[in-house]
């Protein structure tokens, strides 16, 4: 590590024996401290993205920067590897630049706060949290410009900077940063909330050390990491094959007319180590959809995903990182060359989860393979001046359909990130010149299957003031694929109905669209892919879905189910239809249903999505 920690008490921490009861007490105390970080943040932040939606990621790490408890890890170790200044007690470090912190964060709107924890002059831990700011300056409100070709166009770049030095706020630095954003009040409150959350967790670490001693605290953290290492070693040896598996998926387009962009990954195991090799992934894009994916970040994705599938009771932390080898070729869309634009990295980030789910599930498709649907995190931006002449700026994350799974149907209209919640419509209508006229699941949008894919959402936004909107979404070209006989999910669409009644179909990625008071936007997200043979689904479950408005009576026929006029199952007609459909399909059911090849999907893009297909990218970097 390049960073050095200055301690007035340099007595090294020692590893000591800790009994199981003490380990459990300290582990639960740290878990509670991590939850307290969220509570402090949500009660003191101002922007809806953080306060209401929860777009933030807390962690508590040992003195070496390895996350012990948290939502996601990987922040501190990559940062320490490139930070060259001395770190002292009372320092609080702020950064947002992926290129200057080894991709500890992956785009500029994510502001990362890191706090070294000291007790009586000894460095004992780290606390950290980042939150997505409503604005970071740059070309467009919201600071995720589709048309950006370099990171210089995406707003203020904050190198690793001491926001506090020895406990003293560097007010001139803070004011300089806030001078470059469109929402300085929100950013100030959100940043203060991030700092407060980290300080709270730091105090809890000191209190635990005061109760049990620094050496016991240090040793317990290592025990928690070791437990995770043992659990993940067992999981890897049990579920990851030595023979390579490969999978390819695509980002639909780059927002500038070209696409799709290929993400390819090959996975295999050597001994107890799993290797993920992204050789074959397309070169970096011309626009901001590049995702600078730090290798530790992918390890974190893999650990979180795997633990939640196999045993959610396992404590997720960074203890297993030496069991994962990640290989990402330089110059690809997942490791672009500086100064490539990065702000729209959400699309590739979401697609990584679909790719990883496919690789992990291939070997046991009946027990572990999810369909596609963790595909993106769609964004809507709306900004302008209200009737009082005050600037308003909305950043909102939308939800799509979660895929069908071995354990059951996918949830309807849910977030890619399990900790996220929707911003209440009442909040939006109170603080922004908007009226939500429709918020409902899109009937039949989830892929049919033994376990139905979750339906996407249709949200209708009525604009009450003139302004500008930007949209960021995916899965409008490629389908959310089904598995084990399940159908694909419906693709996303965006339609703007003007006040005069005229209609415009909008691209999934567009910006600086001028809207007038009275215009209505239908923001329709994708549905999750289906899991398993739809003709094996209990007809009564199909009937209930029709009754609930999640499947139409006509859509029930995708399951081979016929309903009468009273929406009761016609058993005889259903049995005959299913027999005919099974005979027509044949006995060979592919594991993956992509809805056709890329060429076939492009051929029907205009008809099904109202958008012309993108042009195959020409790579000349």
Domain boundary, last residue among 183, 213, 232 = 232
- Of 182, 211, 232, the residue that ends a domain is 232
Indicate whether 352 and 400 sit together in one domain. yes
Name the strand (E) or helix (H) holding 496: strand 493-497
Question: Are 80 and 14 members of one domain?
Answer: yes
- The per-residue pLDDT for 455 is 97
Residues 175 and 203 in one domain: yes
Q: What is the extent of the structural domain holding 335?
A: 240-293+328-533+589-609
Last residue of a domain, one of 207, 232, 257: 232
Alpha carbon of 237 to those of 231, 241, 311: distances in Å? 10, 8, 15
Are residues 83 and 179 both part of a single domain? yes
Per the domain annotation, does 181 fall within a domain?
yes
Statement to judge: residues 170 and 274 lie in one domain: no
* E strands present in 195-307: 245-251, 261-270, 273-277
The predicted-structure confidence for 478-531, as pLDDT tens digits, reads as follows 999 999 999 999 999 999 999 999 999 999 999 999 999 999 999 999 999 999
Rounded to an integer, what distance in angstroms lies between the CA atom of residue 323 and that of residue 221? 19
- In contact, 77 and 296? CB cutoff 8 Å: yes
Place of tokens 């931006």: 381
Position 304 scores a pLDDT of 86
Residues 47 and 82 in one domain: yes
pLDDT in tens, 157-210: 999 999 999 999 999 999 999 999 999 999 999 999 999 999 999 999 999 999
Classify residue 348: in a domain, yes or no.
Answer: yes
pLDDT of residue 416: 67
Q: Are residues 83 and 15 in the same domain?
A: yes
What pLDDT score does 621 carry?
44
Same structural domain for residues 395 and 509? Answer: yes
- 230: which 2 tokens? 């043992």
387 lies in some domain: yes
- Backbone phi, psi, residue 234, to 5°: -65, -45
User: At residue 225, what are phi and psi to the nearest 5 degrees?
Assistant: -65, -40
574 within a domain of the structure (yes/no): no
Q: Which two tokens stand for residue 30?
A: 């740290």
Phi, psi of 478 (to 5 degrees): -80, 145
Angle, helices 214-239/184-212, rounded to nearest 10 degrees: 110
Q: 355: helix, coil or strand? A: helix
379 falls within a domain:
yes
Give the residues of the chain that fall short of pLDDT 70.
1, 73-74, 416-418, 620-621
Please indicate, yes or no, whether residues 405 and 262 belong to a single structural domain of this protein: yes
Q: Are residues 174 and 265 in the same domain?
A: no
Which pLDDT value is given to residue 418?
A: 65
Cα–Cα dist 111/171, whole Å: 17
Q: Is residue 401 included in any domain, yes or no? A: yes
pLDDT of res. 215: 97
Q: Does 582 fall in a domain?
A: no
Are 266 and 244 in contact, with CB atoms under 8 Å apart? yes
**Claim to verify: residue 216 and residue 271 sit in the same structural domain:** no
Amino acid 620: pLDDT? 55
| DSSP type of residue 8 | S
pLDDT at 305: 83
Helix, coil or strand: residue 580: helix
Could you tell me the two tokens for 354? Answer: 């679909």
Structural domain total, the chain: 2
Asked whether residue 427 falls in the same domain as residue 367, the answer is yes
- According to DSSP, the residues that pair with 157 across neighbouring strands are none
Considering the domain boundaries, does residue 579 fall inside one?
A: no
Whether the CB-CB separation of 431 and 555 falls below 8 Å is answered with no
């Amino acid at each position: 590590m390049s960073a050095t920690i200055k301690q007035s008490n340099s007595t090294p921490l020692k590893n000591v024996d800790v009994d199981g009861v003490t380990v459990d007490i300290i582990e639960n105390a740290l878990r509670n401290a991590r939850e307290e970080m969220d509570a402090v943040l949500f009660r003191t932040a101002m922007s809806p993205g953080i306060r209401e939606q929860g777009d933030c990621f807390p962690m508590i790490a040992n003195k070496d920067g390895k996350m012990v408890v948290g939502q996601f890890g990987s922040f501190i170790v990559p940062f320490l590897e490139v930070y060259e200044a001395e770190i002292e007690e009372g320092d609080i470090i702020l950064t947002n630049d992926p290129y200057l912190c080894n991709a500890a964060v992956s785009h500029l709107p994510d502001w990362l706060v890191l706090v070294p924890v000291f007790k009586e002059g000894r460095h004992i831990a780290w606390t950290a949290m980042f939150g997505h700011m409503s604005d970071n300056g740059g070309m467009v409100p919201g600071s995720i410009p589709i048309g950006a070709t370099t990171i210089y166009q995406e707003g203020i770049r904050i190198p690793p900077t001491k926001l506090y030095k020895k406990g003293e706020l560097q007010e001139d630095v803070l004011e300089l940063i806030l001078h470059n954003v469109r929402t300085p009040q929100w950013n100030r409150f959100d940043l203060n909330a991030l700092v407060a959350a980290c300080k709270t967790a730091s105090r809890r670490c000191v209190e635990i050390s005061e109760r049990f001693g620094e050496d016991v605290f240090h040793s317990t953290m290592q025990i928690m990491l070791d437990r995770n290492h043992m659990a993940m070693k067992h999981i890897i040896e049990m579920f990851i094959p030595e023979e390579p598996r490969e999978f390819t998926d695509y980002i639909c387009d780059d927002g500038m007319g070209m696409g799709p962009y290929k993400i390819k990954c090959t996975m295999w195991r050597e001994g107890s180590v799993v290797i993920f090799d992204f050789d074959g992934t397309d070169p970096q894009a011309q626009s901001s959809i590049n995702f600078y994916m730090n290798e530790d970040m992918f390890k974190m994705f893999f650990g979180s995903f795997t633990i939640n599938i196999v045993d959610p009771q396992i404590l997720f932390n960074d203890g297993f990182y030496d069991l994962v080898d990640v290989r990402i070729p330089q110059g690809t869309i997942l490791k672009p060359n500086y100064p490539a634009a990065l702000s729209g990295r959400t699309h590739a980030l979401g697609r990584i989860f679909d790719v990883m789910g496919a690789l992990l599930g291939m070997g046991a498709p009946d027990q572990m393979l999810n369909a596609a649907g963790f595909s993106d995190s769609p964004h809507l931006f709306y900004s302008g001046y209200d009737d009082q002449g005050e600037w308003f700026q909305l950043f909102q994350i939308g939800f799509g359909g979660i895929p069908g799974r071995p354990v059951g149907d996918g949830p309807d209209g849910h977030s890619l990130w399990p900790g996220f919640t929707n911003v209440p419509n009442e909040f939006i209508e109170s603080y922004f010149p908007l009226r939500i006229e429709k918020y409902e699941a899109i009937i039949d949008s989830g892929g049919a299957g033994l376990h139905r894919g979750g339906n996407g959402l249709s949200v209708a936004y009525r604009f009450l003031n003139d302004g500008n909107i930007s949209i960021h979404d995916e899965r409008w070209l490629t389908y959310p694929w089904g598995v084990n006989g399940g159908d694909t999910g419906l693709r996303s669409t965006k339609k703007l109905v003007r006040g005069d009644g005229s209609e415009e179909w909008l691209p999934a990625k567009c910006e600086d669209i001028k809207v007038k008071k009275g215009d209505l936007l239908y923001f329709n997200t994708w549905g999750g892919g289906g899991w398993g043979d739809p003709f094996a689904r209990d007809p009564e479950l199909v009937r209930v879905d029709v009754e609930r408005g999640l499947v139409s009576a006509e859509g029930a026929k995708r399951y081979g189910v016929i309903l009468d006029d009273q929406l009761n199952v016609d058993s005889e007609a259903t049995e005959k239809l299913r027999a005919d459909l099974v005979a027509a399909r044949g006995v060979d059911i592919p594991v993956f249903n992509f809805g056709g090849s890329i060429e076939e999907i492009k051929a029907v893009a205009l008809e099904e999505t109202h958008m012309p297909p993108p042009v195959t990218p020409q790579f000349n970097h």
